[in-house]
Structure 1
Amino acid sequence: MFTPVASSSPPAFSKQTLVLPIISKGNVGQLACDLLIASLSLERIGFLDASALVPVVGARENGAKGVSTPLEVFSKSGCKLVVVQQRSPVLKSHKTQFIRSLLSWIRTSAFESVILLAGMDTTNRSDAHMHTPTYTLTPPASPSPPASMASVLSMIETYIVKESKPFGDDSSAPSDPPAVPLIPGAGLTRRLFTSLPEAANDYGTGSATWSVPIVALLQYAFEGDNRGDAGMLLAIVNKLLDLQIQAVKEPESWHRGLYGSAHDGSLFG
């Protein structure tokens, strides 16, 4: 699944935290990872198998040699953080294959924890979710997050969906909610969470327990300029991992191509 860059030996991911974006509403996960990579000056250390993704290549950041590929891994010496940047969606017929390969790499790499970053569709936002745009969700099959993260996560509301009864159902008995609720607009987040028990059985260890703590940060968003949403997720990751990012740096590609330069106000009188 993982291939290091040609000039380096395979890195050791043990005891590091993986930040993984999910292709989802507003691409807020990818934008937050862009901010992490730029603000911490992370370097590309390798690639993940992208055969299950829509093929795409592009220029690298800051005119670096080579090309960008759909699934790259970033970190640097002395950093406890590993960031994956995903630049194209998973092919519809390859979703199961991709998730199995990804979870296999996560477990065999012995990451200390995994943070998923995903957007949710604001048009599906209920009254119960009007308190805050940002929520957290931990799958039942995941161990508890490290104590250093738990204190910060406790200050973020948990994403809970109350199941509505079918029309005409007057029974008083409450319906059992699914183990992992529906998350509109969050891409493969729910499928990945529900795949953890199966993934735990795929290693022939005799254990049916998933061993790597996984938590998702979910951000309600519209499609458009989602830099603010990405900044909110970055701020939470900064606190969760005590990264001590003082100044947030946007990548140059945001200004050259993704968002372009600001409009001249004089054009509007």
Structure 2
Amino acid sequence: MEFFYPCKDSTQSSVSFQNSILIWPALTLGNVGQLSIDLILNTFGFKKVGYIHDEDIVPLAGNDTLTPAGKGVLSTAVEVYQFTNRQNTTITIVQQRSPIIAGHINRFAEKLNQWIKQSGFSQLLFLASTNANKRIDTQLFGTQIRYVASDAVGDNQFIVDRIEKQCGVPPMERSVVIDGDLIELSDRLTGLGRRLMTLATQENSKGIAMVAFILFCSEGDNTQDAIVMSNHVVQYTELTTETSNNNNNTIDFKIPSSWSLIKDGPSINQALYF
């Protein structure tokens, strides 16, 4: 059964994922991953190359989220986009707009893991968020983003230096001392992210090279969290273009039209209340 389907103007053979970095969002607290994906897609002009259709994903079709006034093509459950940066590295971004069917996460993760390896992706960058109310003392100050990496990444000092030194993202704290006792902490990954990391760990050197960026946040208007996350993604993948602001090393992101619904929401028929 097919997993990836190319767009009509492409063919299966014309879409190459070899040595590409794959970016995938978590559907979790604040939808930070999904918001970040739309922000990056809208800013850098990624081209849609296909779709992922699978029985374990809730089917979805809706208004275009990137074209102003929704005059583009329909958005579907899982869409695949590509862009080549200045270093001639292909970046593949997947936007997942609907959840995995309850109880099917492990099965979908195994199929996704297999597709990633068969397609020849160089690594997976997973964008996640976690509850800021459950931070330890050392996480209350400074950057609110952490990373977790699979064994295949941990053994690569070049990637580790890029994450920690170039992007300024520290590793997720895995333990804390309280009243003299050492307490083990979770890596804060849940759902699909946790299962993919588990598969990568079980497969050791043969597992996918996976990095998860995890942002501490709370539910609400998470657009600013998405901007923070997107800045780190841009730094890590070297997606710098004319949108870069040389004065403060930030990106002049182009806000997607769909974000207007976050603050304003859809219009409501006032007659309902009279």
Please, what TM-score do these two structures have when normalized by structure 1? 0.80
1:70-101 CA distance string (max 9 Å, x none):
11101146762110001111112211111001
- Spell out the pairing of 1:127-146 with structure 2 (5 A cutoff): 127-131=137-141, 132-140=143-151, 142=153, 144=155
Does structure 2 retain, via aligned residues, the 8 Å contact 1:72–1:86?
Answer: yes
Residue 110 of structure 1 pairs with residue 115 of structure 2: no
Amino acid in structure 1 at the alignment position of 2:170: E
In structure 2, the CA distance between the partners of 1:129 and 1:173, relative to structure 1 (3 Å rule), is closer
Q: Is the 8 A contact 2:5 2:50 kept in 1?
A: yes
TM-aligned CA distance change 1:144 to 1:31, over 3 Å: farther
Q: Distance in 1 between matches of 2:154 and 2:7?
A: 32
Taking structure 1 as reference, are residues 130 and 105 closer, same or farther at Cα in structure 2, changes over 3 Å only? same
Give distance in 2, aligned partners of 1:64 and 1:149.
Answer: 42
Distance 1:12 1:140 in 2: 26
Which of 32, 35, 39 is the equivalent residue of 1:35?
A: 39
| CA-to-aligned-CA distance 1:206-259 (integer Å, 9 cap, x gap) | xx633532111110111111111111111111111211142211111212x333
1:241 corresponds in structure 2 to 237
Which amino acid is 1:27 matched to? N
Task: Say whether 1:252 aligns with 2:257.
Answer: yes
> Which residue number corresponds to residue 83 of structure 1?
93
Distance of aligned partners of 1:96 and 1:103 in 2 relative to their CA distance in 1, 3 Å threshold: same
| Residue 64 of structure 1, CA deviation | 4.6
1:44/1:227 Cα in 2 relative to 1: closer, same or farther (>3 Å)?
Answer: same
Alignment partner of 1:190 is 2:194: yes
Q: Identify the structure with the greater strand proportion.
A: 2
What SS does structure 2 have at the residue aligned with 1:44? strand
- Whole-Å separation in 1 of the counterparts to 2:58 and 2:227: 27
Q: What is the RMSD computed on CA atoms of the aligned residues?
A: 2.7
Aligned counterpart for 1:159 among listed residues 162, 168, 172: 172
- 1:163 & 1:90 partners in 2: Cα distance? 33
Deviation at 1:34, TM superposition (A): 0.6
Match of 1:69 among 76, 79, 85: 76
TM-score by length of 2: 0.79
Secondary structure of the residue aligned to 1:30 is helix
Stretches (4+) displaced over 6 A: none
Q: Secondary structure at the match of 2:231?
A: helix
Query: Is there any run of 5+ residues in structure 2 with no aligned partner, and where?
Result: 244-251, 266-274
Q: Which amino acid aligns with 1:92?
A: A
Q: Give % identity.
A: 26
Residues of 2 paired with 1:242 and 1:146: CA distance?
A: 18
The structural deviation recorded for 1:182 is 4.2
Which residue is 1:264 aligned to?
none
Contact 2:20 2:91 in 1 (8 A): yes
8 Å contact from structure 1 (residues 5, 47) kept in 2: yes
Q: Distance in 2 between matches of 1:102 and 1:146?
A: 26
Q: 1:188 to 1:128 in 2, by over 3 A?
A: farther
* Separation in structure 2 between the aligned mates of residue 37 and residue 144 of structure 1, nearest angstrom: 31
Give, in whole Å, the separation in 1 of the partners of 2:37 and 2:193.
16
